[in-house]
């Protein structure tokens, strides 16, 4: 670690003492210098991303148990872990829940975030104050939000049901206690958490759109909706891609919120790939199976990343 980062810049400088104007050597020097600057990042990535990734893939083909921590021995067992996980009915469920959770959360967060961003884009009294107040959910730690929401959504004594009851809207909704409702409730809470992030980034994007375009549109007599569709959205596209990609990455691996809200229950109705890998690795201590689920999560993200990169490339042209 130390040597690779240190030697590169130095060896780029020392040949300078010979002072012979050799174009090849000069190019080589530049090359080395370039690599020297890149090296810290490469080493960092290899150490903190590459190593755990490779380790996780290898682990998914090993019989990795508590005993391994003592003996260091984890015999390879082929695809045993993979077939065990895929045959587990819970895996299919968790995969489906993860997809629904991610799609639902992103849709909700994005639409509401965009609406709020457009709303705050016009100047009005107290607009700045309100905008910063909306950031609050973002500042609260996920686990804290989870625990508070668990109380709010309690079927009998929760604030939400009491409120609905007072309005005469029933008020006996089994938010977290019915397997049919729990996933929806968890998505709603996650939307609440994600709105500020979406709003802030989209608001920043809106500020970048030149005012002249709107003036031109209004001169052409475009309606508000037409202006939004033909000016705002296309100009905002790069920002939208960034928001959705970042949103996807933080949503697909969801764990803390669900653990705090439902612990994956009731009756596994809110198990996602994140909670399943946690359960396999840290409750059942079957690290091989946990690694398999973790790898599936990586593959899902990788597939998405490919789409993203491709979309970006066409954008660049």
Partner 1 sequence: MTAHPPVAAPRTRGRSRRAVTSFAAVSVLISSAALAGCAQQRDDDVYTVMNSSTDETYHRWDAEAMARCGKRLGVTVEQQSVPASQVMTKALRMASSKSLPDIVQFDASEMPTFAEAGGLVDLRTLGLGTEDVPEGIVDFGSYEGTYYGAARSVNTLALFYNKDILDEAGVKVPTTWEELRQAAKKLTRGKRYGLALSAGGAEDGVFQFTPFMWSNGGDETDLDSPEVVEALDYWKALLQDGSLSKSTVNWTQADVNDQFMAGNAAMMINGPWQVETLNTKKSLHWEIAQIPVPERGADSVGPLGGAVLTVPDTGDTEREKTAGRIVACLASEEEQLTYALNSWMVPANEKTAAEWRERVPELDALADQVAAARSRTAKLGAGWSGVSLALQSAFQSALTGQSSEAALKRAQQRATSGN
Give the nearer residue to partner 1 in terms of CB position, either 7 or 132: 7
Spatial separation of the C-alpha atoms in residues 244 and 128, rounded to whole Å? 25
Smallest gap from Cβ 159 to partner 1, in A, equals 14
Stretch that binds partner 1, among 18-26, 51-59, 131-139, 194-202 (CB under 8 A): 51-59
Spatial separation of the C-alpha atoms in residues 107 and 152, rounded to whole Å? 23
141 binds partner 1 (CB under 8 A): no
Stretch that binds partner 1, among 47-55, 195-203, 228-236, 304-312 (CB under 8 A): 47-55
How many residues contact partner 1, by CB under 8 A? 61
Stretch that binds partner 1, among 19-27, 217-225, 258-266, 307-315 (CB under 8 A): 258-266
φ, ψ for residue 124, nearest 5 deg: -155, 160
Smallest gap from Cβ 309 to partner 1, in A, equals 24
Give the nearer residue to partner 1 in terms of CB position, either 169 or 309: 169
- In terms of residues, how long is the chain? 317
Restricting to residues 149-168, name those near partner 1 by CB under 8 A.
150, 154-157
Restricting to residues 271-300, name those near partner 1 by CB under 8 A.
277, 279, 281-285, 287, 289-291, 294
Give the nearer residue to partner 1 in terms of CB position, either 95 or 202: 95
Report the residue from 22, 27, 30, 48 that binds partner 1 according to the rule CB under 8 A: 48
67 binds partner 1 (CB under 8 A): yes
Stretch that binds partner 1, among 79-87, 94-102, 137-145, 205-213 (CB under 8 A): 79-87
DSSP code string of 115-184: HHHHHHHS--TTHHHHHHHHTHHHHS-HHHHHHHHHHHT-TTT-HHHHHHHHTTS-----TTTSTTTHHH
Give the nearer residue to partner 1 in terms of CB position, either 37 or 307: 37
302 CB-contact burial (10 Å; exposed 0-12 / middle 13-18 / buried 19+): exposed
Q: Which residues lie across from 62 on neighbouring strands? A: 76
Cα-based distances in Å from 108 to 180, 194, 199, 264, 317: 19, 9, 12, 21, 31
Q: Supply angle C-alpha 224, 225, 227, rounded to 5.
A: 65
Report the residue from 15, 137, 171, 266 that binds partner 1 according to the rule CB under 8 A: 266
Token pair belonging to 309 = 């990169």
Give the nearer residue to partner 1 in terms of CB position, either 4 or 218: 4
Token pair belonging to 66 = 């508590």
First to last CA, the chain: 39
Positive or negative, the CA dihedral 241, 247, 250, 254 is negative
Report the residue from 29, 35, 148, 177 that binds partner 1 according to the rule CB under 8 A: 177
What residues make contact with partner 1 under the rule CB under 8 A?
1-3, 5-7, 9-10, 13-14, 40, 47-48, 51-52, 55-56, 59, 65-72, 84-85, 87-90, 150, 154-157, 174, 176-179, 262-268, 277, 279, 281-285, 287, 289-291, 294
């Amino acid at each position: 670690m130390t040597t690779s980062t240190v030697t590169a810049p130095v060896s780029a400088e020392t040949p300078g003492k010979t002072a012979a104007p050799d174009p090849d050597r000069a190019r080589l020097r530049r090359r080395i210098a370039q690599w020297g600057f890149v090296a810290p990042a490469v080493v960092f990535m290899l150490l903190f991303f590459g190593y755990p990734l490779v380790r996780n893939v290898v682990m998914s083909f090993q019989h990795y148990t508590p005993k391994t921590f003592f003996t260091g021995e984890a015999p390879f067992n082929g695809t045993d872990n993979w077939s065990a996980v895929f045959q587990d009915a819970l895996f299919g469920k968790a995969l489906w829940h993860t997809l629904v959770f991610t799609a639902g959360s992103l849709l909700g967060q994005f639409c509401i975030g965009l609406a709020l961003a457009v709303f705050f884009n016009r100047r009005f009294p107290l607009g700045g104050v309100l905008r910063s107040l909306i950031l609050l959910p973002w500042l609260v730690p996920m686990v804290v939000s989870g625990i508070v929401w668990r109380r709010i959504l309690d079927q009998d004594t929760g604030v939400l049901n009491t409120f609905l009851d007072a309005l005469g809207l029933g008020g006996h909704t089994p938010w977290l206690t019915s397997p049919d409702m729990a996933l929806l409730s968890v998505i709603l809470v996650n939307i609440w958490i994600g709105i500020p992030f979406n709003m802030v980034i989209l608001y920043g994007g809106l500020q970048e759109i030149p005012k002249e375009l709107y003036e031109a549109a209004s001169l052409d007599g475009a309606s508000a909706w037409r202006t939004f569709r033909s000016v705002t959205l296309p100009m905002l596209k790069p920002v939208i891609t960034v928001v959705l990609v970042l949103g996807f990455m933080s949503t697909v691996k969801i764990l803390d919120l669900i653990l705090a809200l439902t612990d994956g229950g009731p009756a596994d109705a809110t198990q996602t790939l994140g909670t399943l890998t946690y359960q396999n690795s840290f409750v059942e201590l079957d690290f091989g199976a946990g690694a398999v689920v973790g790898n599936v999560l990586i593959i899902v993200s990788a597939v998405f990343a490919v789409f993203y990169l491709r979309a970006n490339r066409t954008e660049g042209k």
